[in-house]
């Protein structure tokens, strides 16, 4: 993408957007990567819902609290 934009579209992100169907920001990012030599890498695999194991301690604590609250309501209802 970077060499295509530079060679065939005279380094114009607008032309690359029009003819290649990519976003202008993507074309600009590619050209900047080519100029600086740094490659931008996205961290897509860290997005979204986390694994159950990571949240298990929090979920256990919440479930214990809910059970305690549920038990208190039932006991108070029976006593009156």
Rounded to the nearest integer, the mean pLDDT of the chain is 78
Residue 37 and residue 56 in contact, taking contact as beta carbons nearer than 8 Å: no
Determine if the pTM surpasses 0.85. Answer: no
Q: Give 35-51 pLDDT, tens digit per residue.
A: 888 888 877 777 777 66
Q: Give 51-72 pLDDT, tens digit per residue.
A: 666 667 777 888 888 888 877 6
Q: How far apart are CA 32 and CA 26, in angstroms?
A: 10
DSSP codes joined into one string, 27-50: HHHHHHHHHH-------GGGSSSP
Q: How far apart are CA 1 and CA 26, in angstroms?
A: 9
List the domain boundaries for the chain. Answer: 1-40, 50-80
């Amino acid at each position: 993408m970077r060499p295509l934009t530079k060679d065939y579209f005279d380094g114009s992100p607008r032309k690359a957007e029009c003819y290649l169907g990519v976003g202008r920001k993507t074309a600009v990012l590619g050209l900047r990567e080519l100029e600086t030599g740094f490659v931008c890498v996205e961290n897509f695999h860290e997005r979204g819902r986390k694994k159950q194991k990571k949240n298990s301690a929090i979920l256990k604590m919440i479930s214990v609290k809910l059970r305690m609250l549920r038990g208190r309501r039932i006991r108070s209802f029976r006593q009156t």
